[in-house]
Amino acid sequence: MGAGSLEEVLFPGIDVRLERVSISAEVLYVEAAACGPPPRCPGCRATARRVHSTYERSLGERPLGGQQLVVRLRVRRFFCDRSSCQRRTFVEQVDGLSERYRRSSLGLKQWLRAVAIELGGRPGERLCRKLYLSAGRSRLLELLEAPPVAGRAPRVLGVDEFAFRRGRRYGTILVDVEAGHVVDVLPDRTSETFAAWLTAHPGAEIICRDRASAYTKAIKEAAPAALEVADRWHLLQNLSDAVEKTCHQHRPCLKKYAERGSDRPIQMPLVDALPPTRIVQRVLHHHAEVTRMVAAGYPVSDIARRLGLDRKTVRRYRDTSLDHLLDSARDRRSERLDAFKPYLQQQYADGVTDGRTLFQQIRARGYGGGYSTLTLYLRTLKAGTAPAAPGEIPSPRRITAWIMRNRDCLSTQEVEHLDQARLACPDIARACDLARVFTDLVRNRRGQLLPAWIRQAEQSDVPPVAKFAAFLRQDFDAITAGLTHEWSSGKVEGHVNRVKTIKRAMYGRAGFRLLRTRILTRP
């Protein structure tokens, strides 16, 4: 390859003259000289006419052929002959190659900035070593600059929270829903901070948000004319929680229905017959104390502080029946074996009675319990006192998943299991019907039918779903808008996931300023 060809490869379209190329063990050195027209003075913009001197500067360049590349560039210093200018001399900059105070080429700077945007400091430094780029984490991070925030908010603004440290510190991310990019990042999730931002950046006509009360308060204070749109995904999630709670409360109905399908009835232990284990005693004690203090008028926070419990735990003891609490405290080891009892009974009837053999067989089929649990059940089989194996009892979460999904998307077996759960408990059937109607309102955006659904849910005998319906009344206008308009917080949730990825790459070592810069900086 000739000198002219090499010059075109190294400096395409750049006003430099290639003079010499030398190779060391690890570095490829390229000596070149600037040969462009006289530049303009950066102070007065007058064209230079006289050369003061020349000197050589070293610029790091993108690697070539698996070797680090360094450009030794000879540049000229010019006089500024205009008497009104404060500068007497200045150094020329080669367009497309160099800039002031920078010891790397513009092409290398773009590479390093892209690495810093995608990976950050330490991971970016490790990648640069593999790519033969000379750059430390500090040099990478100093290339990141947060773009300026526009003076006006976008027409459709999305707002959501994200965690700096889950359960302790949260921030707020603001997204232009129409354009799909982040507008700004706030250091907390308080209503005062968000209201101040809305006041300083007017112009939002539609604001997509979740059910957080702080954002609602800020919008009513700083942007009362904006249309609030509640996110549809969060509505379905809240409804799913209500349906799952209903299935939990009526799990005994599922058990009784499974027992009726057996050849012989199974005598379920009564609450009083539960063994006095430590967890059962703790549940009885906490339930009695919470009931007594609630009756005495203590608030939830005081009860939690006096008993050393979390407030969510106190609310669970307050709102859940004792039978359901004790059922949760029951020893579940034997229940792991229930799904394998039909197989064990069949094998035992066929003459396979060795405990170790049966244990290995059910372990291969997914049994996760211990051998002692199996031996206790084999004793009942040997004595002829084992009840018939009950039918499969689906978990509340599985039933909820069948209810919340479109019936056309369920398999034939899942439809049969869901129909059996509906037959087992009328409350589960009513919750299923209400959930199906509400999901239809959400997916087809039929917000005009929401008042009728709320009245029907409140009149039902399903307390969790009725409580969810009453909760919808508190934010009725925003929810109706969410079930009517096309806007949602989907793009906002996508950027929240991107924030989580950035946080994991930074390992929590950086502060809010750098995190905000990386979130706002787009490749």
Predicted pLDDT at 264: 41
Residue 214 lies in a domain: yes
Predicted pLDDT at 379: 82
Domain count, the chain: 5
Q: Spell out the SS3 assignment of 476-513.
A: HHHHHHHCCCCCCCHHHHHHHHHHHHHHHHHCCCCCHH
Predicted pLDDT at 4: 57
Give how far the C-alpha of residue 351 lies from the chain's centroid of Cα atoms, to the nearest Å.
Answer: 53
Residue 401 lies in a domain: yes
Q: Which two tokens stand for residue 308?
A: 């050393």
Predicted pLDDT at 334: 57
Q: Cβ atoms within 10 A of the Cβ of 237, count?
A: 13
Q: Cβ atoms within 10 A of the Cβ of 235, count?
A: 22
Residue 204 lies in a domain: yes
Q: Which of 23, 103, 104, 98 has its CA nearest to residue 65? A: 23
Q: Cβ atoms within 10 A of the Cβ of 344, count?
A: 22
Say yes or no: 448 and 406 in one domain: yes
Predicted pLDDT at 436: 92
Residue 362 lies in a domain: no
Domain that holds residue 125: 109-142
Predicted pLDDT at 240: 93
State how beta strands 27-34 and 181-186 pair: unpaired
Say yes or no: 427 and 494 in one domain: no
CA distance 142 to 186: 21
Predicted pLDDT at 272: 41
Q: Which of 268, 306, 264 has its CA nearest to residue 289? A: 306
pLDDT tens-digit map of 483-507: 898 888 888 989 889 888 888 777 6
Give 10-residue mean pLDDT values along the chain (523 residues): 66 84 84 88 88 89 82 90 88 86 84 82 83 80 80 91 85 91 90 92 90 86 90 90 89 72 40 56 87 90 90 88 70 65 81 86 83 82 69 80 88 86 88 92 88 90 90 87 88 89 74 83 70
Amino acid code (one letter) for 284? L
Predicted pLDDT at 265: 37
pLDDT tens-digit map of 69-78: 888 999 999 9
Say yes or no: 208 and 237 in one domain: no
Contact 190, 140 (CB under 8 A): no
Tell the residue number behind the tokens 């109905």, with chain if given: 253
Predicted pLDDT at 243: 92
Residue 72 lies in a domain: yes
Say yes or no: 135 and 210 in one domain: no
Q: Which of 234, 254, 288 has its CA nearest to residue 419? A: 254
Residue 308 lies in a domain: yes
Predicted pLDDT at 387: 66
Q: Which of residues 311, 331, 351 is at a domain's end? A: 331
Residue 294: give its domain's CATH number. Answer: 1.10.10
Amino acid code (one letter) for 293? M
Q: Which of residues 118, 142, 166 is at a domain's end? A: 142
